[in-house]
Amino acid sequence: MSRVFSFPGQGAQRVGMLQTLPDSKRVKHRIDEAEQILGCHLHTLDNHDAFQHTRNVQLALTISGVIWAETLIEQGIQPDYVQGLSIGAYPAAVIAGVLEFTDALTLVSLRGNLMQQAYPDGYGMTALLNTHQQTLEHVLQQQRRAGDDVYLANLNSDSQFVIAGAHTAMERTVSLLKQGGHCSSRRLDVTVPSHCDLLTPQAEQLQQALSTVAMNRPSIRYLSAARARLLPTADAIRHDLAWNMASQVHWHDCNSLLAERGVTCVFEMPPGGTLTPLSRRAMAQARCLAVNDHSLEHLQQLA
């Protein structure tokens, strides 16, 4: 049996997500570590007002991802691969043994602040369904030639994409696509234009910070969502963590790679649920589970 732990990105967050963590000695230790590093109680990170800031969302997703993954491992559910979408790469790196939990929190705090300060308002991301990549890229090229800040950010499946940029530009993209087909759209709960060139200066700053952090060779296979390939070295993952905020997400290609490797079980860490349907589409042979939909006992049986 071959298992993947999958860590969701920004947009999957839920108010109160850190108040329903498992109850164990290890969890209490992780919570104490996080509160000491961040200088605040976790309940100040996951309320509605706190989630208006990118830093708090990303910290909450990192903390939740690490704690839930470690809980599954304690229950005997051991991953063979880890993959994370955007900020999900950080808990993935912790579980792979590449990055210390406390270092991850410091880096994620910086990452979130850099992104928020660069784009405090007027920008974000929009999911698109029932369109074609070639059509979408043609529309985006036309818009950028006209001066619009809008980019293809995520390639989640053969008909599901995410664009990033200014709100007004994304609205024009949706309008143009709907003129030529049955495209549907949904504005994501993300306040910055991730996974495009607009965040290149911030990625460069984060790379400088990562250059001073000790990292290890992965003990669990680490799959990069930006490159859709396994990264075997600490330096390769260091670069991936720095630049994934400004790099396209090739999630469909990642899932295709896992399908080719015969993965049999995918566990999406809480508070996810967004990645599981994408895994099911690409890995018909695998059991794809959102952890928050099942009890730990049931997950043990399914695994």
Distance CA(48)–CA(21), nearest Å, equals 18
Strands 3-7 and 265-268: parallel
Distance CA(117)–CA(181), nearest Å, equals 37
Q: How far, in Å, are 10, 108, 203, 271 from residue 115 at the CA level?
A: 12, 11, 9, 22
Check 195, 239, 250, 252 and give the catalytic one: 195
> Catalytic: 86?
yes
Strand residues in the chain grouped as ranges (E):
3-7, 81-84, 123-129, 150-155, 160-166, 184-187, 221-224, 229-231, 265-268, 287-290
Check 6, 64, 86, 194 and give the catalytic one: 86
> Catalytic: 195?
yes
Backbone phi, psi, residue 61, to 5°? -65, -35
Distance CA(206)–CA(86), nearest Å, equals 14
Return the active site residues.
Answer: 86, 195
